[in-house]
């Protein structure tokens, strides 16, 4: 029986006092044996946390005692082991970084489409379907027929939007656009961006891919592959069942069986995607970190694996 409950949630809401929320929120999480990450900014909150069910629910109840977060919604998943090794509460400029001033999801986001209605929308040939996630996420799964912007970070999406032929047809008439992402947060901003640029019919998947995989039966699904998640599960499939992908500790990218069978793969150190871009000194440091983690694991301790190695400068 799975013992750990994972809760993912976000909300765009004005939190001018967000810095003051950090310390008591971290204390609440630690007292309830909850781990994960919570991002706070003036524009709202974004988080994935995990732990004993009663602990996670206690943290959610604590958050909802704030009137501004009273209607906070979350998505749940279960696992046999904790998907996180530590608890962090971070203060940010944005809870999801786009870098475009004046974009307000609370005022300008597109129209929500429920998972059960999503198939009909994206099957319409007149609708341009856009996957707003990073290239490595798209690489392991996406919706049939969706455009892949091939971006390395969400902050690159605005430039792609301004240049994409599918969004700027020769006729000059702006198309209907449907956008999706993992949990819905990136689409709140991406659809707000399009609306600010004059797109009138812009839609996004309510609850994101995760809600779709949770609620739409696999036999009726238009999803292909796995969905990357930013925790130790790495990927999930229909019914939010954890997938078989591994994770490179150096570049944080998902790995399939071929990647892990490659001679360029070294657990905790490198993979075929990053082996050539990390220095030998970085690899040696990662090897020592991996040895420490393996020793701690052998002792039955939940030792943090550590942070990814920085890329060398060109």
Local confidence pLDDT in tens for the 314 residues of the chain: 568 999 989 999 999 999 999 999 999 999 999 999 999 999 999 999 999 999 999 999 999 999 999 999 998 888 888 888 899 999 999 999 999 988 888 888 999 999 999 999 999 999 999 999 999 999 999 999 999 999 999 999 999 999 999 998 777 789 999 999 999 999 999 999 999 999 999 999 999 999 999 999 999 999 999 999 987 789 999 998 889 899 998 888 999 999 999 999 999 899 999 999 888 998 898 899 888 878 877 776 655 444 443 332 22
* Tokens matching residue 22: 């950090």
- Judge whether 14 and 42 are in contact, CB under 8 Å: yes
Q: Do 179 and 72 lie in a common domain?
A: no
Question: Could you tell me the end-to-end alpha-carbon distance of the chain, in angstroms, rounded to an integer?
Answer: 48
36: nearest Cα among 72, 1, 14, 10: 10
Strands 87-91, 35-41: pairing kind: parallel
pLDDT of residue 307: 42
286 domain-assigned: yes
Would you state the pLDDT for residue 301?
64
Identify the domain containing residue 74 by its residue range.
4-91
Domain end residue (candidates: 30, 63, 91):
91
Domain end among 35, 66, 91? 91
Provide the edge-to-edge strand list for the sheet that holds 4-12: 74-79, 4-12, 44-51, 35-41, 87-91
- Domain C-terminal end among 69, 91, 113: 91
Return the pLDDT at 44.
Answer: 95
Residues 30 and 57 in one domain: yes
Residue with tokens 């995989």: 213
Neighbours of 152 (CB within 10 A): 9
Specify whether 10 is located in the same domain as 66: yes
- E strands within the chain? 4-12, 35-41, 44-51, 74-79, 87-91, 111-113, 127-131, 141-143, 176-180, 202-205, 223-225, 227-228, 235-236, 246-247, 254-255
- CB–CB of 84/231 below 8 Å? yes
Residues in contact with 116: Cβ distance below 8 Å, sequence separation at least 6, in sequence order: 215, 216
- Do 113 and 87 lie in a common domain? no
- Judge if 116 and 52 occupy the same domain: no
- Strand, coil or helix: 73: coil
| Contact present, 229 and 236 (Cβ < 8 Å) | yes
289 in the same domain as 185: no
Q: Is residue 132 part of a domain?
A: yes
- The predicted structure's pLDDT at residue 3: 86
The contacts of residue 137 (CB under 8 Å, 6+ apart) are 182, 227, 228, 254
201 and 264 co-located in one domain: no
What one-character DSSP code corresponds to residue 216?
Answer: S
221 CA to centre of own chain: 21
Q: Is residue 233 part of a domain?
A: no
If asked whether residues 162 and 68 sit together in one domain, one would say no
**CATH code of the domain in which 39 resides:** 3.30.70.100
Give 3-state DSSP helix, strand, coil % of the chain, rounded to 5. Answer: 35, 20, 40
> Is 232 contained in some domain?
no
Q: Are residue 166 and residue 215 in the same domain, yes or no?
A: yes
263, with CB counted inside 10 A (0-12, 13-18, 19+), is: exposed
Catalytic one among 29, 181, 248, 274? Answer: 181
Say how many domains are in the chain: 3
CA torsion 307-290-282-90 (nearest 10°) is 10
Which residues contact residue 69 at a Cβ distance below 8 angstroms, ignoring those fewer than 6 apart?
Answer: 11, 13, 45, 63
Q: Is 29 a catalytic residue?
A: no
Predicted pLDDT of residue 314: 26
Give the torsion sign (CA, 169, 175, 179, 185).
positive
Q: What's 161's domain CATH number? A: 3.40.250.10
Is 100 a member of any domain? no
- Predicted confidence at residue 252, as pLDDT, reads 86
């Amino acid at each position: 029986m799975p013992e750990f409950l994972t809760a993912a949630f976000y909300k765009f809401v004005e939190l001018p006092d967000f810095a003051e929320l950090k310390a008591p929120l971290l204390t609440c999480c630690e007292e309830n044996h909850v781990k994960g990450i919570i991002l706070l900014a003036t524009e709202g909150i974004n988080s994935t946390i995990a732990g004993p069910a009663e602990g996670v629910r206690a943290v959610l109840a604590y958050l909802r005692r704030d009137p501004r977060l009273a209607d906070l919604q979350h998505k749940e998943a279960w696992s046999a082991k904790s998907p996180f090794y530590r608890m962090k509460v971070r203060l940010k400029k944005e809870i999801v970084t786009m870098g475009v001033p004046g974009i307000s999801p609370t005022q300008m986001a597109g129209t929500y489409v429920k998972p059960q209605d999503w198939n009909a929308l994206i099957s319409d040939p007149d609708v341009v379907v856009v996957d707003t996630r990073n290239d490595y996420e798209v690489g392991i799964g996406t919706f049939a027929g969706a455009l892949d912007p091939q971006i390395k970070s969400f902050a690159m999406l605005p430039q792609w939007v301004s240049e994409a032929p599918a969004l700027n047809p020769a006729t000059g008439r702006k198309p209907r656009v449907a956008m999706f992402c993992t949990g819905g947060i990136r689409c709140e901003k991406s659809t707000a961006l399009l609306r600010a640029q004059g797109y009138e019919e812009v839609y996004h998947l309510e609850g994101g891919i995760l809600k779709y995989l949770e609620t739409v039966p696999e036999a009726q699904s238009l999803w292909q592959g796995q969905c990357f998640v930013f925790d130790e599960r790495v990927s999930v499939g229909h019914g939010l069942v954890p997938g078989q992908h591994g994770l490179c500790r150096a570049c944080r990218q998902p790995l399939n069986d071929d990647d892990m069978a490659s001679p360029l793969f070294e657990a905790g150190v490198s993979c075929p995607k990053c082996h050539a871009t990390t220095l030998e000194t970085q690899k040696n440091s990662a090897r020592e970190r991996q040895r420490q983690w393996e020793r701690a694991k052998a002792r039955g301790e939940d030792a943090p694996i550590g942070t990814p190695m920085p890329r060398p400068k060109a």
